[in-house]
C-alpha cells in the first residue's frame, strides 16, 4: 500500500462515473446491435436494442446534466480548465512519456496532485469528450428520437440519414475514447490501482 494517497474522487463523482460507464457500454452494445441488425446473431436482438438504447440515452442525458450542475458548483470544475500557454509542449512531453518514457521506467512528467488530477493529454481528451462529443451525441440522439425536428433534406440528402450518420460517428469516437481511457488507466507499476481509486476515491502513487 502506498504511503502517498490523495482523496481526488468524491462520492458523487464515483457514483456519476459508474452510471456513466454502464450507460455508455450499453449504448455502444445496443448501437452496434441496431447498426448490424441484419446479421444472424447481433449482440442484442433489434426489438430489445432500440428501447434499451433509448432508455440508456435518457439516463445518459440526465446523468450528464447532473455532472454539469454539480461540477459547476464544486471545485472539481477546475480539473477541466485548460491552460493554453505552453500546451503543445506539454502534450508533446506527455506523448513522449507514453510512447517511450514509461517503458524505460522514467518518472511521470506531470504527476497527479491535489490541484492537477489529469496530465495534459488526459485533460484535452476529457474536455473534448465531456464538453464536445457527449453533448453532440445527446443532441443528435434526441433529434433521432424526435425526427420531426430534423430538416427534411440537406444538400439533396435526407436530414435524418445525415443525423444518423453523424450520431453513429460520434458514438464511434466515444467508443474509441473509452478504450483508450481504459488502457491509459492501466499504465503504471500497478495496472489495477487506478481502477481501484475510482471505487475508493483515493489516488495512490
Q: What Cα–Cα distance (Å) separates residue 4 from each residue in 102, 116, 203, 205? A: 20, 15, 8, 6
Higher-confidence residue of 77 and 155: namely 77
Q: What Cα–Cα distance (Å) separates residue 136 from each residue in 49, 58, 92, 125, 174? A: 21, 14, 28, 15, 11
Distance CA 28, CA 151 (A): 26
Query: Is the pLDDT score of 130 beyond 70?
Result: yes
Higher-confidence residue of 60 and 193: namely 60
**Residue pLDDT, tens place only, 85-100:** 999 999 999 999 988 9
Q: What is the DSSP letter of 3?
A: S
Nearest by Cα to 110 from 101, 119, 97? 119
**Residue pLDDT, tens place only, 26-57:** 999 999 998 887 776 667 888 889 999 999 99
pLDDT of amino acid 113: 86
Distance CA 102, CA 107 (A): 8
Distance CA 38, CA 172 (A): 19
Q: What is the mean pLDDT of residues 125-145?
A: 94
Q: Which three cell numbers stand for residue 96?
A: 513522449
Distance CA 177, CA 73 (A): 26
The mean of the pLDDT values for the chain is 88
Domain extent at residue 195: 5-204
pLDDT tier at 5 (50, 70, 90 boundaries)?
A: confident
Residue 35's CATH number? 1.20.950.20
Q: What's the total number of domains in the chain?
A: 1
pTM: 0.86
User: What 3-state DSSP class applies to 157?
Assistant: strand
Residue count of the chain: 205
Amino acid at each position: 500500500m502506498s504511503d502517498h494517497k490523495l482523496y481526488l474522487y468524491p462520492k458523487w463523482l464515483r457514483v456519476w462515473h459508474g452510471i456513466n460507464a454502464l450507460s455508455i457500454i450499453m449504448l455502444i452494445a445496443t448501437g452496434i446491435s441496431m447498426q448490424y441488425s441484419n446479421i444472424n446473431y447481433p449482440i442484442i436482438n433489434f426489438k430489445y436494442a432500440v428501447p434499451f438504447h433509448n432508455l440508456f440515452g435518457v439516463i445518459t442525458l440526465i446523468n450528464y446534466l447532473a455532472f454539469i450542475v454539480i461540477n459547476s458548483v464544486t471545485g472539481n470544475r477546475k480539473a477541466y480548465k485548460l491552460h493554453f500557454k505552453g500546451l503543445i509542449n506539454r502534450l508533446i512531453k506527455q506523448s513522449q512519456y507514453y510512447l517511450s518514457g514509461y517503458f524505460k521506467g522514467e518518472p511521470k512528467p506531470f504527476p497527479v496532485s491535489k490541484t492537477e488530477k489529469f496530465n495534459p493529454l488526459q485533460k484535452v481528451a476529457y474536455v473534448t469528450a465531456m464538453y464536445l462529443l457527449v453533448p453532440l451525441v445527446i443532441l443528435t440522439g434526441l433529434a433521432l428520437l424526435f425526427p420531426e425536428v430534423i430538416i427534411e433534406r440537406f444538400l439533396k440528402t435526407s436530414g435524418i440519414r445525415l443525423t444518423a450518420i453523424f450520431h453513429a460517428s460520434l458514438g464511434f469516437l466515444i467508443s474509441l475514447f473509452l478504450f483508450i481511457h481504459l488502457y491509459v488507466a492501466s499504465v503504471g507499476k500497478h495496472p489495477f490501482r487506478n481502477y481501484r481509486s475510482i471505487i475508493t476515491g483515493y489516488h495512490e502513487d
